[in-house]
Each structure stands twice: as C-alpha cells, then as structure tokens.
A and B are shown apart, each in its own frame.
Chain A
C-alpha cells in the first residue's frame, strides 16, 4: 500500500517540476495577467523605438503567448503589433539598457518601432498607445491597462560609456607620453627589422638607377593605416630626394593623392631638393580595385622598379601586386594592418611589417615625440589589456563576471 502511494507522489512531484508540463497543467485554468505594464522611450537610441516592460506572470508557459496591441490614439483602433511566446523576451536580454542583475529575468522587455506600423503617417512627435494581452491559442485575455510613450532621439548612447572611458583614458595616456617624449627625446623603441630594409631597398634602387614605387592601399584618408602610410611615405620621399633617385607613388583615392603630393613635395623641400620633385610621379592610376591592380602591375613591369613598397590597407589585390613585383625582381617591403592579406605579403615580399609595426614604423623612422609618445602609450594600453584578459579570465572562471561586463561591447 505504501509503494503505490510513494510512486504516485513521486510522479506528481516530477510533473509539477517540469516546466513543459506546467503549461499543460495550466490548460483550462484562468490566466493570471501580469502587472507593472510600462511604456517609455528607449534610452540610447535615435528616437525610433519605444520600450515596453512588465512583470513575469505565474501563468507563463510554452503554449501561452503575449500580444502587444498598438494604436495612435487612446480610443483605438487597436492593431496587433507583436505576438510572442510568454517565456521569451526578458529584461536580461538587453543588458545595454538594464545591466546584468539576475533579477532582470523577472520582467519582460520588448522594443517596438511604432512608426513601422503606420507607413505614410510617420510623425516623429506622435504619442503611441499600447495594450497587453495574454493568449492561449484562440483565447485572448486583455490586461486592460493602456500605457503610452513617445519615441525621442537621445543625445547620448550611455551603453557606449565604456568606449568613451577607454577613449578618454587612452587619450590622456597618449598626451602624457607625448609630453614625456618631448622631455626625453631618446625614448627606446626596439629595432624593427623590416624598416632597415627600406634604406636597403632605396640604396639598391639608386645603385641600379631604377625608380622606387610606393603603392598605397585602397582605403581613404579616414583610415588609420593610410595616415601611417603617409607618414612612412614622407620618410621614404626624403631619403629618395637625398639619394637623388626617382620615387613613383600610386594610389586610387583623390584625397590620398593630394595628401601624398603635398607630403612628397614637403619631403623634397626638407631634403633641399625642391627642383627634383615631379608632381607627375605621384599619380592616381585607377579608382577601382582591380583596374588599380592591372595599372600598378603594368607600371612595375614596364618601369622595372627596383624597390616596391606596399603600405596601407589592402584587400584581394595584395597577392597579385606583390607577386607581379616579385616576378620583376624588385626588392619588396610591405607594411599593412590588413591581417587577412598579411600571409600573401609574407610569402611574396622580402620584408613585411605586420599590423601595428606599420604604426610603429613611422615613429621609429621620424623619432618625432608625438609618434614616440603614442607608441609608448600603445604599449601601456596593450599591457592593460593583457592584465584585463588575465585577471578577467581567472575571475570569470570563479563566476565573478565584473570585468567581463565592464568590457562588453554594445
């Protein structure tokens, strides 16, 4: 007699603990409507969405849905905007708005773009009204409460606060080290072997009486790699002017062209050889990727350039360019932060400056306090990142996710 009773009580316990069967038990029972239904302008956005939140209801299960009704006026007409399963869409799904607290799982959250439901009547200042209902199949039970909100654009996206703090702190470190480099101009920078090759290549071009070719990457002046490339170009141009050889510079962007012309001209002036500067040697050869490749390949083959420098951000053209240069027998130096193209430069060029070495190169060559200071600051930044990774991983392994959350990207 005791055994069947024990089995029955165990079965009932298992059924009551299983969330999938919870809904089944709820079938036919009255739905308990959620409380705390609120609508508010979504923070940190450009004014497109309204956020809705409400507390979890005990009736929720896989077969129960929530329906959000939307209307441009308090009297309706109401239209069904969204319907979703009641065990989804929690506040915890949006840590950029609500943070990482565990209690967030007790409230639902939905972001809705109301203007999308009224095409042709987009009014940025319109107030929208919302109603919530629970549904089990065809049976719909409205919650009754009507809430309203207006979507407004926000000046600040506070979810990116960590980005701002990193930027401000890092800028502070950079400024400090620039001032430090001005006071102590002989800051140590380790030798970058690829850079020694620049002088070697230019010397070879001079001895052979053939031109050197500087090939820009495909990105515009807004790209950090192009800025670094221009710095290196200035240094190479100065050396070229001193050695009295010819430098040809090719690129595919009109702004980069103009900046390059200015930089090369200035370098020739600094070297005391303004007469040797020829604007026609700094040219835009093509504006599209593969025509650029074909044109640069043609220049390498016909001009028989003795030294090729590929500096900047490259895409699929890297291998074709570097392979053509290698076939002409030129000494080649590449410097790029395009990590997908680095393998091709490594296999086809004599020396390759990888990633950040491109930025370090301009500092190493010029010994300018501004660049040296930035380089030292970057090293400190990397040290901080290493510490964050090391301690963050250890803490995360013990369930302390504070560092992980601070460095979360939104």
Chain B
C-alpha cells in the first residue's frame, strides 16, 4: 500500500514536472536551445536531490549515480589536463618519442612509483605498491609536522601572549585578554589525558568545556546562516530562472 503510494507520488511528480516544462516551451517562457534545456535539467536535478527529504526514491538514485559518475569523469579530465599531461606526458613522454627537446629523465622516478601503485591490481606484485605508499605517507608527515607546529602551536601562542595591561589598554581589552588566556588554558587542560578530571583539574576542564560549547554554538549559528543562503540561492534559481515567478 505504502509502496504503491510512493510509486504514484513519483509518477505524479514527474508528470507534473514534464507538464510544467512542456507548457513553458509552448508559451515561449523557455526557448528550444541548450541554455534553456540546461535550466530544465538543473531544476530537475535540484528537485530530485530535495526529494530525498521525503524518502529514498528511484529518481534520487538516478541523480545520485549521475552525480558520482560526472564527478569521477570530471576528476579524470582534471587529473589528465592539470597533472599527468603538463607534469609527465609533455616533459617526459613526448620528447622521449619525438626528440624535439631533452626529456626530463628525473620524472621517471614518480612515474615508476605511480605504476607501482597500480600493482595492487596484481596479487603477485601487490607488495610493490607499498613503496609509493611509504613515500607518500613519509612525505606527508614530513611536510605536515613543521606546518602543524607553525599553524597550531606558534600561530596560536602568538596572539595569546598579549600584555594584560601595558598602558593605553582599556579595561575591556584587559578583560578580553584575560578571558582568552583562561579559555586557552582551560581548554588545554580539558585535553589532558594523563590525569583524571577530578578536583581542581576537573573544575578547570569543565570551564574549558563551557568555552568549547560557546564557540561551537557560535560556529553552528554562523554556518547554518551560510547554509540558509545556499538554500535561498537554489530556491531563487527555481523561482526566477526556471519558473520565472520572481523577477
């Protein structure tokens, strides 16, 4: 019974969508060209995506698979034109066969590592793929650690080490500096794992949790506002570009 109802809701929605678009084309609201066809397609996919709010349905599944497929195709093109072609094909492989200029032989090293990565497809040679993985993980850690210290230690300490009073500071600024200091220290204490959060440590870590929750609340509100603007953008697209009820 429920499935039948869902089926008819889907058919009805698709029929309504088709009828609206056909009428738009007939009355000249939309022209028979690629641009207007694109608007219809975008409106259809937008509505299909929102249909998930009701429940999972075949239209959503089609859009989902299409989205994943298009993204994959897009990634392949981007990888070829932004990475493989300019960094490997043009400087190494083309000169290697045409001899128009000296090939950059050094590029053989990353190419071989890349090929090793594909060896995962072979059961016998899969062990070779560990080399590029080791290289990537090691390189990643090497780059990440100094950047991590720079961004999450030094850059965070720097603005916290402010004078509470050094002449010219207002009372509010001094309170602000003290609050920042209290917030940073209490949050750091919350993230202590070697001691039980009891006694004074427990009290300070509770203050830390309060600071965290206040900042999370502010962040939540800020991001929800951003999401609302995205929703407004999509709704405006449907109402203005597609339906034309808003000018």
Q: Which A residues are within 8 Å of any B CB, using their own CB?
A: 160, 162-164, 166-167, 187-190, 192, 220-224, 227, 254-255, 258-259, 285-288, 290-291, 294-295, 297-298, 301-302, 319, 339-340, 342-344, 346-347, 354-357, 360, 363-364, 375-376, 378-379, 382-383, 385-386, 388-390, 392-393, 396-399, 403-404, 407-409
Contact A343 B217 (CB under 8 A): yes
B120 on interface, CB distance cutoff 8 Å? yes
Tell me the complex Cα distance, A357–B190, Å. 10
Q: Which B residues are within 8 Å of any A CB, using their own CB?
A: 49, 52, 56, 60-61, 63-64, 67-68, 70-72, 74-75, 117, 120, 129, 133, 136-137, 139-141, 143-146, 148-150, 153-155, 157-158, 160-166, 177, 181, 184-185, 188-189, 191-197, 212, 216-217, 219-220, 223, 227
Task: Give the residues in chain A near B148, CB-CB below 8 Å.
Answer: 224
Instruction: Please name 10 further chain A to chain B contacts, defined as beta carbons within 8 Å, in addition to the given A189-B194, A221-B136, A301-B52, sorted by A numbering.
Output: A166-B153, A190-B197, A258-B129, A298-B56, A298-B61, A382-B189, A386-B188, A399-B163, A407-B161, A409-B157
Query: What are 26 pairs between A and B in contact, CB < 8 Å?
Result: A160-B150, A163-B149, A164-B146, A166-B154, A167-B145, A220-B140, A221-B133, A221-B137, A221-B140, A222-B136, A288-B74, A291-B68, A301-B56, A340-B223, A347-B220, A363-B193, A375-B193, A375-B194, A379-B193, A382-B189, A389-B160, A389-B161, A393-B160, A399-B163, A403-B161, A409-B158
Across the interface, A357 reaches (CB within 8 A) one of B67, B155, B191, namely B191
Across the interface, B181 reaches (CB within 8 A) one of A302, A393, A407, namely A393
Tell me the complex Cα distance, A338–B150, Å. 17
Contact B150 A259 (CB under 8 A): no
Closest A residue, CB atoms, query B137: A221
Tell me the complex Cα distance, A160–B146, Å. 9
Task: Give the residues in chain B near A221, CB-CB below 8 Å.
Answer: 133, 136-137, 140
Contact A385 B188 (CB under 8 A): yes
- Given A286-B71, A291-B67: A393 touches B188 (CB 8 Å cut-off): no
Across the interface, A376 reaches (CB within 8 A) one of B139, B161, B194, namely B194
- Given A286-B72, A301-B56, A393-B160: A222 touches B143 (CB 8 Å cut-off): yes
- Given A297-B52, A347-B220, A409-B154: A393 touches B191 (CB 8 Å cut-off): no
- Given A190-B194, A221-B133: A389 touches B181 (CB 8 Å cut-off): yes
